């Protein structure tokens, strides 16, 4: 692609805000955020004014159809990802999609109060397999670049971990990782029909993506092809349903989960015989916990994304820090804390978007691509099937050769 890459953002909520903030930190790539569209035009206009975006369009369809837009950046709720991906591909637009790629949000024609309680996980899994195939076909047919916004792939601590594994020549025997905090306050997260799942889908996609990236890169170093996942075993739970916890007051952990889990642990088997143990939960006090550890034959390394100890602080009264941001998802600013000096940078957002813009301009695949997006969603829904049927799910029949 010649000239400046012209980006249109769909959405005006949290993810649109941090994408716009991170685009400001990109240096060296020729691009512009040319337009924004959101369901709430007022919010979209406010974001456009804050970040200097010239045009505010009425809706996603108008932005996707606009010939002055090269790339559609999807910062929308999970259930809108696949429909908008299909529209963008049909219009020949390159795509940046927030995680996850998609999911199951209820059968066609389901009532507004549809619940996932008792719904067959095999049916969900089958629907997601069909969804993955449709998205892959649409993207490949259109010949567009698909960028999967998994920031862990670009987080500096994980990039360093990967370089250490490469430098040591280690066989990566085992990976351990986690994303946990005290719970989402977003109302949509309580319901499967809106979120597509619980902590496994909302949180564990990050350590899953990080683990896949580490094994992909190891495989490319060794044989020129990524090492792929071949099996999944999973357990999920709703820990806030424990009777003694329900009787407690006050509660410092988010409650009210309707038909989704607040805890998940997934074991991934890779084709070379290595394993990954990955956890996510909405029941961890003390702020967000994001880490990935690689246990190699010649080295061990841990990437601590959160908490990061670059800055440490103490105050006896949290109100003293009222005017200053500390870190995501902490319940209190009192006591010892780990204030993030540049949370966007350490979690990988500017590096992620820089790679996306450059990959589109150069006509190459990004580090976090369609294969990553498809494998992550496959693992998540195989996990739900595994947990429901208490068995290991073989992924090999569903992996596309790529």
pLDDT at 22: 94
pLDDT at 155: 96
> Are the C-beta atoms of 63 and 57 separated by less than 8 Å?
yes
Q: 6 is written with which tokens?
A: 């012209």
The 10s digit of each residue's pLDDT in 213-242 is 999 999 999 999 999 999 999 999 999 999
pLDDT at 345: 86
Question: Strand, helix or coil at 214?
Answer: helix
Domains annotated on the chain, with CATH: 5-150 (3.40.50.720), 152-351+376-398 (3.30.360.10)
List strand residue ranges (DSSP E) for 93-239, in order. 94-98, 146-149, 172-180, 229-237
> Are the C-beta atoms of 243 and 303 separated by less than 8 Å?
no
Q: 234 is written with which tokens?
A: 């999973």
The 10s digit of each residue's pLDDT in 124-141 is 999 999 999 999 999 999
Torsion angles phi and psi, residue 224, rounded to 5:
85, 5
Q: Which residues contact 161 (CB under 8 A, 6 or more apart)?
A: 214, 292, 294, 301, 302, 303
Output the CA–CA distances (angstroms, integers) from residue 334 to 184, 285, 307, 316, 321, in the order listed.
Answer: 21, 14, 16, 6, 8
Confidence band of 2 (pLDDT split at 50, 70, 90)? low
Averaged pLDDT for residues 287-315: 92
Higher per-residue pLDDT: 342 or 50: 50
Residue 6 has pLDDT above 70, yes or no: yes
- % of the chain with per-residue pLDDT over 70: 99
Confidence band of 170 (pLDDT split at 50, 70, 90)? very high
Residue 346 has pLDDT above 90, yes or no: no
Q: 228 is written with which tokens?
A: 């792929």
- % of the chain with per-residue pLDDT over 90: 84
Averaged pLDDT for residues 321-341: 82
Listed as own residue / partner, the contacts of 215-223 with beta carbons closer than 8 Å and 24 or more positions apart are 215/172, 215/175, 215/270, 215/272, 215/274, 215/276, 216/372, 217/162, 217/166, 218/165, 218/166, 218/171, 218/172, 219/272, 221/166
pLDDT at 167: 95
Token match 């005290």: residue?
182
Query: Max alpha carbon distance in the chain (Å)?
Result: 62
> Are the C-beta atoms of 105 and 79 separated by less than 8 Å?
yes
The 10s digit of each residue's pLDDT in 242-275 is 999 999 999 999 999 999 999 999 999 999 999 9
Mean pLDDT of the chain: 94
β-partners of residue 265 are: 235, 279
Chain CA centroid to CA 146, Å: 15
Q: 158 is written with which tokens?
A: 């994980």
Residue 327 has pLDDT above 90, yes or no: no
Q: What is the pTM of this model?
A: 0.93
pLDDT at 402: 46
The 10s digit of each residue's pLDDT in 26-77 is 987 789 999 999 999 999 999 999 999 999 998 999 999 999 999 999 999 9
pLDDT at 331: 79
Q: Which residues contact 186 (CB under 8 A, 6 or more apart)?
A: none
Helices within 24-120 (DSSP H only): 41-51, 60-65, 81-90
> Are the C-beta atoms of 39 and 59 separated by less than 8 Å?
yes
Confidence band of 1 (pLDDT split at 50, 70, 90)? low
């Amino acid at each position: 692609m010649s000239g400046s890459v012209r980006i249109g953002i769909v959405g005006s909520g949290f993810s649109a805000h941090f994408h716009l903030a991170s685009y400001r930190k990109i240096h060296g790539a020729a691009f512009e955020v040319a337009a924004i569209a959101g369901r709430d035009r007022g919010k979209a206009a406010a974001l456009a004014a804050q970040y200097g975006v010239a045009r505010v369009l009425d809706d996603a369809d108008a932005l996707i159809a606009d010939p002055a837009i090269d790339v559609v950046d999807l910062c929308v709720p999970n259930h809108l990802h696949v429909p908008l991906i299909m529209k963008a591909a049909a219009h020949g637009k390159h795509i940046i999609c927030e995680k996850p790629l998609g999911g199951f949000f209820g059968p066609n024609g389901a009532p507004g109060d549809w619940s996932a309680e008792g719904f067959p996980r095999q049916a969900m899994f089958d629907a997601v397999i069909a969804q993955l195939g449709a998205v892959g076909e649409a993207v490949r047919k259109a010949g567009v670049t698909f960028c999967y916004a998994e920031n862990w792939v670009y987080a500096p601590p994980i990039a360093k971990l990967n370089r250490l594994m490469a430098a040591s020549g280690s066989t990566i025997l085992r990976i351990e990782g986690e994303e946990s905090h005290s719970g989402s306050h977003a109302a949509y997260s309580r319901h499967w029909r809106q979120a597509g799942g619980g902590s496994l889908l909302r949180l564990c996609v990050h350590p899953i993506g990080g683990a896949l990236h580490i094994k992909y890169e190891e495989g490319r170093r060794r044989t020129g092809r990524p090492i792929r996942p071949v099996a999944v075993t999973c357990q999920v739970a709703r820990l806030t349903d424990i009777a003694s916890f329900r009787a407690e007051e006050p509660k410092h952990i988010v409650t009210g989960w309707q038909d989704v889990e607040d805890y998940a642990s997934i074991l991934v088997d890779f084709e070379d015989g290595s394993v990954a143990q990955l956890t996510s939960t909405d029941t961890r006090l003390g702020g967000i916990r994001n880490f990935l550890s690689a246990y190699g034959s010649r080295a061990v390394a841990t990437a601590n994304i959160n908490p990061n100890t670059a800055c440490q602080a103490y105050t006896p009264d949290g109100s003293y820090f009222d005017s200053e941001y500390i870190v995501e998802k902490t319940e209190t600013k009192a006591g010892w804390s780990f204030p993030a000096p540049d949370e966007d940078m350490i979690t990988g957002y500017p590096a992620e978007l820089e790679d996306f813009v450059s990959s589109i301009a150069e006509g190459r695949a990004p580090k976090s691509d369609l294969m990553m997006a498809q494998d992550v969603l496959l693992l998540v829904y195989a996990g739900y099937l595994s947990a429901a049927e208490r068995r290991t799910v073989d992924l090999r029949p569903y992996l596309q050769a790529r």
